[in-house]
Amino acid sequence: MKKLFVVLLVLTVAAGVFAAGPIVVGFAQCKADESDWRIANTKSMQASLSAANGYKMILADSNNDAAKQVADVQGFIDQEVDYIVIAAVNMDGWDTVLKNAKAAKIPVILVDRTINASPDLYTCWVGSDFKAEGVKATDWIAKRFGSNQVGIVNLQGQLGSSAQVGRSQALQDAVAKNKNWTLLAQQTGDWSTPESKDIMTSWIRQYGNKIGCVYAENDNMADGAIQALQEAGMKVGGKDGVAIISFDANKAYLQMTLKGTINVDVECNPLHGPRVQGIISNLQKGIQPSKTMYVDEAAFYYDTITQAIVDGRSY
C-alpha cells in the first residue's frame, strides 16, 4: 500500500513538472530595430526571457504604430499569456486594453516608458526619468554658453512618447528660464538618422550660423544632424563647434563623444531584460515589486570621457 502511494506521488509530481511548461510573456515592443538603443533593448529582453531561462517570449513589433501596439496587447490577452510587458509607443490610449488585461488577471509590466493611465491598471513600471535626462543636458548648455546668446534646434523623438515628452519638456523649461537662449526650431525626427539629416539640412539653409546648439533626443538623430552640419562645412562639437547634445550613450556614440563630435551624451540604459526577469521571478514567488522603479543613469562629456569608459560599454 505504502509502495503504491509513493509511486502515485512520484507520478503526480512528474506530471506537474511536465505540465508546468515555460512562462509565456508577451512583449509589446515599439519597433525592434528602430535605433541602436532599441536594438540593444530587444536583445536584452530576448536574452533574459529565453527558453534556457524557462520563458517563451512572444515579441510583437508595432513598427512604432501606437494603435497597432494596443491591438498587439489585446492579442496577448486573447492568447492568455502569463505576463504582458509593454514599451509604450505613446503615453495615451491605454485604458481599455489595460482594463481587459486586469479582468483577465494578466499582470502588466511597463518597461522603459511611462503611460497616462491609472497605476492600478498595471503591476509596475521600470525605466528612465526622461525629464531628469533632459535636465542633465540643459545644465551643460547653461555652463557652456553662460550669458552669451545661443540659438538651439531641437530634434524631437516620436511625438507623444514619454521619452520625447520628458526630454522636450526639460528643454522648454530651460529656454523659458534662460533669456539668452532662442529655440529656433523644433520638429520630430522620429528617432531616425536619415529623417533627422534631412530636417537638419533644411534648418541649416534657414538659420545657418545662428545655430549654436543641436539638442537631439537620441543618438541616431544626433548622427543625422552631425552628418548634415559636416556636409554643410560647419564645425561640429568640441570647444567651439556647434554644440551637440545627444541621449542614449550607445558605445558608437560614446566613441564620437571621446572624439569631441558629440559634446554631451546623456545615458538612457536599454538593458531592461534582467530587470523584467527579476520582476517576473518575484511575482512567481508572490513578491510584489515597487510600483515605480527608476534606473540610475549617468551623462558623458567630451572633455572628461575616457577610452576606458567607451570600452566598458556593453551596448
Beta strands at 150-156 and 211-216: parallel, antiparallel or unpaired: parallel
Please say whether the beta carbons of 61 and 89 come within 8 A.
Answer: no
Decide: is 272 part of the binding site for ligand AHR (CB under 6 A).
Answer: no
Q: Of 37, 83, 122, 125, which one interacts with ligand AHR (CB under 6 A)?
A: 37
Closest CB 185 distance from ligand AHR, rounded Å: 20
Decide: is 300 part of the binding site for ligand AHR (CB under 6 A).
Answer: no
Closest CB 92 distance from ligand AHR, rounded Å: 16
x/- map, 240-269, ligand AHR, by CB under 6 A: -------xx-------------------x-
Decide: is 163 part of the binding site for ligand AHR (CB under 6 A).
Answer: yes
Residue corresponding to grid cell 576606458 = 308
Q: Which residues does residue 108 pair with via DSSP β-bridges, in sequence order?
A: 84
Decide: is 223 part of the binding site for ligand AHR (CB under 6 A).
Answer: no
203-204-209-210 Cα dihedral, nearest 10 degrees: 0
Distance CA 229, CA 45 (A): 35
Query: What is the spatial order of strands in the sheet that 55-61 belongs to?
Result: 55-61, 23-29, 83-86, 108-112, 124-127, 292-294
Closest CB 187 distance from ligand AHR, rounded Å: 16
Judged by beta carbon, residue 107 or residue 157, the one nearer ligand AHR is: 157
Decide: is 191 part of the binding site for ligand AHR (CB under 6 A).
Answer: yes
Please say whether the beta carbons of 297 and 252 come within 8 A.
Answer: no
Grid cell in block for residue 12: 503526480
Query: Helix 36-48 to helix 273-284 angle, to the nearest 10 degrees?
Result: 30
Judged by beta carbon, residue 242 or residue 268, the one nearer ligand AHR is: 268
Q: Of 49, 62, 113, 141, which one interacts with ligand AHR (CB under 6 A)?
A: 113
Judged by beta carbon, residue 283 or residue 299, the one nearer ligand AHR is: 299
- Which residues are at the interface with ligand AHR (CB under 6 A)? 34-35, 37-38, 112-113, 163, 191, 218, 247-248, 268
